[in-house]
Amino acid sequence: MKRTPGFAPKRSATCGSLLLFACAIGTTAKAATELEFQLTDGHEPRSLHIIVSKGHLRLQSSAQPGFELHFSAPTQMAYVINHPRRQYAHLDPTQLEKSGVAVSGLVGALQNQLSGLDDSRRNRVNDFLKGLGLGKLDTPTKNTEPLRLMMTTKRRRVAGIPCHEGEVLAGNERQSLLCLEEPGALGLPNSDRQTLVALIHFLMTLTESASSLMTALGITLPRIVLGKDSTLPIALTDSQQHLQLTLTRVSISQQIVKVPLPNGYRAVPLPLIAH
């Protein structure tokens, strides 16, 4: 596939959307892979801009221009950065899982209390909890059974790239519909491909190990899996979360990407990073 020199990023959705992908940050990168995805989640279409280079990845959202998500494949570390406030939050699945155990008990107790309130009072409580960094807590818990991928017979093209559709199932319940690139169709350098694979594994771990905390924080991450031989999803439809993500462009850039955490930035807990 012939690539174009570059593109202008559009707007992205929420902090949860910032958790679905991330973009590369190398200290001496001479070339980077750029990808743009269109995101639809019940609002006007927005876009995610991803840069991948030398094992690092950065995602930028012009809907929240001061925010970035950084991921390092070699260290398996990810950060959400709030530049206007010079703050960052570390995304650590192990620590978030421990926090999630405590939060799940809190969520369960609050769900019991919320179920006894009328709509008006329940909405007021939810608005108050969101102000504390907690999302909507009376949402039914999603199916947490192990995921499996079942390929279909349907093939199509996304951004001119051939892909093969597959269903992500939890038990017999469909979680999402993916279109996985045909092997090698994206034409990515191997190091950039492996970085994207590492990111998806990281997000899968984050989603499965810290789902209670992610839900409580109002962060929605689609449940996805990789294809055979680590073929990458280039389109995704999550009907349960009313979310659709589609690749619109892939290109090569000669830009130099910077180190993820600038000097003088302060670490804060994840619930506070967006407030």
DSSP string, 188-224: --HHHHHHHHHHHHHHHHHHHHSHHHHHHTT------
pLDDT digits (tens, 9 = 90+) for 75-123: 888 888 988 899 998 887 666 655 544 444 445 555 555 566 667 766 6
In a domain, 142, yes or no: yes
Q: Check residue 8 and give its pLDDT.
A: 38
In a domain, 28, yes or no: yes
Q: In what order do the strands lie in the sheet with 32-40?
A: 147-158, 161-170, 173-181, 233-238, 243-253, 32-40, 46-53, 56-60, 67-72, 77-82, 87-91, 266-267
Per-position b or e across 131-150, b if 16+ CB within 10 A of its CB: eebbbebbeeebeeeebeee
Tell me how many domains the chain contains: 1
CATH number of the domain residue 129 falls in: 2.50.20.10
Cα–Cα dist 27/40, whole Å: 33
In a domain, 1, yes or no: no
In a domain, 2, yes or no: no
Domain span including residue 221: 15-272
Predicted TM-score of the model (pTM): 0.72
In a domain, 152, yes or no: yes
Low-confidence ranges of the chain (pLDDT < 70): 1-30, 62-63, 93-118, 121-144, 209-220, 255-260, 271, 274-275
Determine contact, residues 214/137, Cβ cutoff 8 Å.
no
In a domain, 90, yes or no: yes
Phi and psi (nearest 5°) for 53?
A: -160, 130
In a domain, 3, yes or no: no
In a domain, 6, yes or no: no
The DSSP call for residue 42 is: S
